[in-house]
Amino acid sequence: MGLSKRVIPCLDVTGGRVVKGINFVGLRDAGDPVEIARRYDQQGADELCFLDITASSDERGLIVHVIEDVAAQVFIPLTVGGGVRSIDDVRSLLNAGADKVSINTAAVLNPKLVEEAAARFGSQCIVVAVDARRVAGSSPMRWEVFTHGGRKSTGIDALEWGRRMQQAGAGEILLTSMDRDGTKEGFDLELTRAFSDALDVPIIASGGVGDVEDFVDGVAKGGADALLAASVFHYGELTVADVKKRLADSGIEVRT
């Protein structure tokens, strides 16, 4: 009896289309964001995360239309991130129907942005995405913040950064392990645990999920409040329902 742990599929969007292998059977249009969002909703997704990976600036506006279309038909929370640079970007995504906007690189370049966005729109809709990488040989273990999709090191201590962003008004932290992202070796549980213990806002664990046990570990060992994954869902290796069943069998509360 209480708050359930959330399972969040993440969709990569570019040019208004969902990309990466979509293995849903019987989709009329394999890259249609609305159809895919609806499928995840039917599987029991607690929330959806859209990551705008559009490189060219002239196509950036398309994510707004994607969110408008999805929000008109899928009635669960939507988080949108990728390329959010200004208060205007945050506003246009919220107006399109996003419930939360995730700020990553721009927060490092301009920490005031998070403060301003939280003051203007409320902490409940401001997520700060932290891409963290282990600092080799550090003891106790430390992590460093990376930006620009994990390509640029910043020299900033990740945990310190998380605390600072909470202070600035972030309502939630989307925490991605750059060491684990794409490896299928599971979440970086030490990283997740360190953030969950140090911060008072919810932590979404991301990066590295390979199988259903990784989700259980993310909560049981990492202390995550929510679990995000992309490829295991997109490639049809797991459904959200599979994950929730396994979580429930392990005694973790989920929405069924």
Partner 1 sequence: MATIAVVDYGMGNLRSVAKALEHVAPECSVVVTSDGRDIADADRIVFPGQGAMPDCMRELDARGLREPIIVASQEKPFLGLCIGLQMLFDHSEEGDIHGLGLLPGRVKRFPPERMRDESGNKLKVPHMGWNQVFQNRPHAMWQGIEDGSRFYFVHSFYVDVADPELVAGTTHYPFAFTSAVTRNNIFAVQFHPEKSQSAGLKLLSNFVRWDGSSDISKDKAFGTANV
From the list 125, 118, 124, 132, the residue with the least C-alpha distance to 160 is: 132
Of 25, 56, 57, 75, the residue at the interface with partner 1 (CB under 8 A) is 75
Active site (annotated) includes residue 88 = no
**What's the token pair of residue 60?**
């950036």
From the list 30, 4, 35, the residue with the least C-alpha distance to 19 is: 30
From the list 50, 4, 19, 9, the residue with the least C-alpha distance to 229 is: 9
From the list 252, 249, 236, 250, the residue with the least C-alpha distance to 43 is: 236
From the list 114, 138, 134, the residue with the least C-alpha distance to 126 is: 114
The binding track of 97-136 with respect to partner 1, each residue x by CB under 8 A or -, is: xxx---------------------xxxxx-----------
Which part of the chain contacts partner 1 (CB under 8 A), choosing from 23-31, 50-58, 134-142, 197-205? 197-205
Whether 209 contacts 233, CB under 8 Å = no
Q: Is 3 in the site for partner 1 (CB under 8 A)?
A: yes
Return the number of the residue (108 or 254) whose C-beta is nearest partner 1: 254
**CA separation for the pair 75, 27 (Å, rounded):** 20
- Catalytic: which of 41, 131, 181, 225? 131
Gyration radius of the chain over CA positions: 17
In whole angstroms, the minimum distance from the beta carbon of 94 to partner 1 comes to 5
Q: Is 72 in the site for partner 1 (CB under 8 A)?
A: yes
Which part of the chain contacts partner 1 (CB under 8 A), choosing from 50-58, 181-189, 222-230, 233-241? 222-230
Q: Is 59 in the site for partner 1 (CB under 8 A)?
A: no
**CA separation for the pair 208, 214 (Å, rounded):** 8
From the list 147, 177, 143, 175, the residue with the least C-alpha distance to 160 is: 143
Which part of the chain contacts partner 1 (CB under 8 A), choosing from 11-19, 75-83, 150-158, 231-239? 75-83
Which part of the chain contacts partner 1 (CB under 8 A), choosing from 18-26, 155-163, 207-215, 221-229? 221-229
Of 11, 36, 84, 96, the residue at the interface with partner 1 (CB under 8 A) is 96
Give me the residues that bind partner 1 (CB under 8 A), please: 1-6, 41, 46, 68, 71-73, 75-77, 94-99, 121-125, 171-172, 196-197, 199-203, 223, 225-226, 255
Catalytic residues: 12, 131
